[in-house]
């Protein structure tokens, strides 16, 4: 319902007619002045109408006109002449888009002549905000004080907490004290019914802790056996927010478009929601890990394994290990079998980028939901009936990667699989066969270029729902123990020496799986994609910067 128009002026003496409905807060300039600049903020625009969606209003408050107040670290000055004619004011804090998907919280202050009218505007806007049920009111926050540059606590207290406070979002904050603290707390102690969401302050490792704890708790409460690779997992009811403060923030970059704490905090405040697929990884009917971004065997597994032995180097260890692994040029023999996703929209090479409101994710999610309903009708249906649809590839591989999202990051803006989708129920399986070192370098360089990632004869990509990998010389644990008893320890030690000193020319039998930055204990794995298993406080990457289309005036 549209409110009665209100004339307002701000300190440049411009007069606006302001209207509010359930969708937009709009102000139309009735009188224009010459261009002026106040400090670093441009307060002049062409005559016209400006608006902000109600859904992107952070808060509203009454403003003292005849005083200087400091709010959230920003000084607000009011000139005396307008205050004589317009002694009352209210300030609307709202989302403003800057460059490269960055969001800021901007203030727009309106002055009026009647105090009662001012209070009515504040009350009406607050009532409109209260109708936005998607917004969180109470959050559980985990802060990793050790990740990245050990700035997580400071980032939260200085940049995020003030925004939550302004938006009237209450929080229970837990500073983690050891590895898997958040995971274990979510699994056992957290009273999840009290909260509207869970927020992790840290890097990808912290996010992994949170999703493992939340998914495990959800499956346990619903009686789902995680060790069964054929189980259909129950989606989690709480959304997850990520405040980037780690050495790697891949998930945040791929779902928001930038690693910026303020931007992520604003996405949480406005109650954005982005579904996300999750891969479950099993070995011999034993659950190992969940993955939301990258599963990498061969090159990326070797880089991670080597970098873990050089943690003393800090973030530089990744570059060092990457160069070393590239020069080693190890390949691994094995068998990859996969179930192609033939019934979905899109393909890994169609150049369709997953963005806000992605049609591919929506449509494929709907198709999968309908298929699951059919499955419930016929409970005898199983993947064993579709064995004929599985494809099998044997060979020597430099890398085997499964990308459930683009895996874009500042160093690789397009990522490993530019057309991978966040919530379409599939993962892109990328097989890089044995090739020359120079050809493999060509493949790696394409992650930073605009060329087709997969337009190489030794690279193939498949969009799949499930896949399995078995190394050529896969041995059971019992075989390994027998090998050790019969003198195999010397061979295994020599194999490790060869890995650390590749000049000897020996090729190791096994690589390691890199599962979202963590090493898996087994090489033989089975992977299944669970469509839209979790929800993030995000909206995907917006297709084009809205800030270029229209401005929202700021008052300083």
- Alpha-carbon distance of 496 to 350, in angstroms, equals 42
How many CB atoms lie under 10 A from the CB of residue 95? 21
Q: Smallest Cα–Cα separation from 76: which of 56, 93, 57, 58?
A: 93
Residues 353 and 422 sit within 8 Å (Cβ to Cβ)? no
Residue whose entry in the numeric block shows the structure tokens 């469509």: 531
Catalytic residue status for 221: no
Q: Taking the CA of residue 185 as centre, how many other CA atoms within 13 Å lie in the half-sphere pointing to its CB?
A: 21
Strand partners, 27: 18, 50
Residue whose entry in the numeric block shows the structure tokens 């919280």: 105
As separate numbers, helices (DSSP H) first and strands (DSSP E) second, the chain gives: 14, 25
Q: Smallest Cα–Cα separation from 427: which of 464, 467, 459, 389?
A: 464
Q: Which of 71, 72, 196, 204 is catalytic?
A: 204
- Alpha-carbon distance of 409 to 448, in angstroms, equals 10
Q: Which stretches does DSSP call E strand in 300-378?
A: 332-340
- Alpha-carbon distance of 82 to 178, in angstroms, equals 56
Residues 257 and 541 sit within 8 Å (Cβ to Cβ)? yes
Residues 510 and 239 sit within 8 Å (Cβ to Cβ)? no
Residue ranges of alpha helices (H) inside 175-237 are 181-188, 204-221
Residues 542 and 355 sit within 8 Å (Cβ to Cβ)? yes
Catalytic residue ranges: 204
């Amino acid at each position: 319902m549209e409110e009665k128009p209100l004339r307002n002026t701000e300190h440049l003496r411009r007069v606006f007619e302001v209207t509010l409905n359930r969708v937009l807060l709009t102000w139309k300039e009735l009188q224009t002045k010459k261009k002026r600049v106040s400090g670093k903020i441009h307060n002049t625009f062409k005559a016209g109408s400006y608006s902000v969606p109600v859904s992107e209003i952070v808060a509203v408050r009454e403003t003292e006109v005849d005083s200087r107040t400091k709010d959230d670290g920003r000084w607000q000055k009011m000139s005396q002449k307008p205050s004589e004619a317009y002694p009352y004011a209210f300030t609307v804090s709202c989302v403003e888009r800057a460059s490269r998907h960055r969001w800021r919280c901007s203030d727009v202050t309106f002055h009026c002549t009647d105090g009662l009218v001012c209070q009515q505007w504040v009350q009406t806007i607050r009532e409109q905000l209260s109708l936005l049920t998607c917004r969180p009111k109470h959050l559980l926050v985990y802060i990793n004080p050790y990740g990245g540059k050990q700035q997580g606590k400071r980032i939260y207290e200085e940049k995020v907490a003030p925004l939550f406070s302004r938006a009237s979002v209450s929080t229970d904050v837990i500073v983690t004290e050891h590895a898997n603290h958040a995971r274990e707390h979510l699994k056992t102690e957290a009273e999840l019914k009290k909260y509207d969401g869970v927020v992790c302050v840290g890097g990808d490792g912290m996010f992994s802790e949170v999703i493992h704890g939340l998914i495990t708790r959800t499956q346990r409460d619903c009686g789902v056996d995680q060790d069964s690779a054929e189980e259909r997992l129950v989606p989690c009811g709480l959304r997850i927010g990520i405040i980037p403060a780690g050495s790697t923030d891949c998930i945040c970059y791929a779902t928001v478009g930038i690693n910026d704490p303020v931007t992520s905090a604003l996405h949480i405040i406005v109650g954005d929601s982005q579904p996300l697929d999750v891969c479950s990884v099993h070995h011999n009917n034993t659950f190992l890990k969940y993955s939301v971004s990258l599963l990498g065997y061969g090159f990326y597994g070797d880089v991670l394994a080597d970098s873990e032995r050089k943690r003393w180097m800090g973030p530089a260890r990744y570059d060092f290990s990457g160069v070393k692994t590239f020069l080693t040029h190890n390949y691994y023999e094995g068998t990859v079998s996969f179930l192609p996703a033939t019934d979905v929209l899109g393909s890994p090479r169609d150049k369709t980028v997953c963005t806000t409101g992605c049609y591919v994710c929506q449509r494929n999610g709907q198709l999968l939901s309908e298929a699951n309903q059919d499955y419930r009708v016929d409970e005898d249906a199983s993947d064993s009936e579709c064995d004929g649809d599985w494809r099998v590839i044997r060979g020597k591989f430099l890398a085997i990667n499964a990308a459930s999202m683009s895996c874009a990051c500042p160093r690789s803006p397009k990522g490993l699989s530019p057309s991978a989708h966040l919530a379409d129920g599939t993962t892109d399986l990328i097989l890089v066969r044995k090739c020359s070192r120079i050809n493999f370098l060509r493949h790696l360089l394409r992650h930073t270029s605009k060329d087709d990632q997969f337009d190489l004869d030794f690279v193939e990509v498949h969009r799949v729902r499930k896949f399995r990998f078995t190394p050529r010389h896969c041995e059971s644990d019992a075989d390994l123990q027998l090998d050790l008893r019969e003198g195999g320890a010397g061979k295994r030690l020599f194999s490790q020496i060869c890995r650390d000193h590749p000049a000897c020319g020996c090729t190791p039998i096994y690589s390691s799986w890199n599962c979202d930055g963590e090493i898996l204990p087994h090489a033989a794995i089975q992977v299944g994609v669970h469509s839209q298993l979790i929800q993030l406080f995000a909206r995907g990457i917006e297709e084009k910067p809205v800030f270029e289309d229209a401005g929202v005036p700021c008052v300083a």
